[in-house]
Amino acid sequence: MNSKEAAASLGYAEKTLRESRVTGKLAGVTTPPYIKRGQRILYDGNDLLEWSSQFRKITNTAQSSI
């Protein structure tokens, strides 16, 4: 998927995802892997799912501060 689609699937602005490729960090961790083909940036959907699975799931906002 392209950068715009990847950003939407992760819940980030495309600009945020673009900036993360420069800094190497997104949400405080290493950015999801991507492929660069010429000017195009492509993400594999499975890579995005794997990347997002590292975050702890919570059921209410009280858990987010633990």
For residue 1, pLDDT beyond 60: yes
Q: Is 11 helix (H, G, I), strand (E, B) or coil?
A: coil
Interacting residues of 30 by C-beta distance below 8 A, sequence separation 6+: 24
pLDDT digits (tens, 9 = 90+) for 15-46: 999 999 999 999 999 999 999 999 999 999 99
- Within a 10 A sphere around the Cβ of 35, how many other Cβ atoms? 10
Q: pTM for the whole thing?
A: 0.82
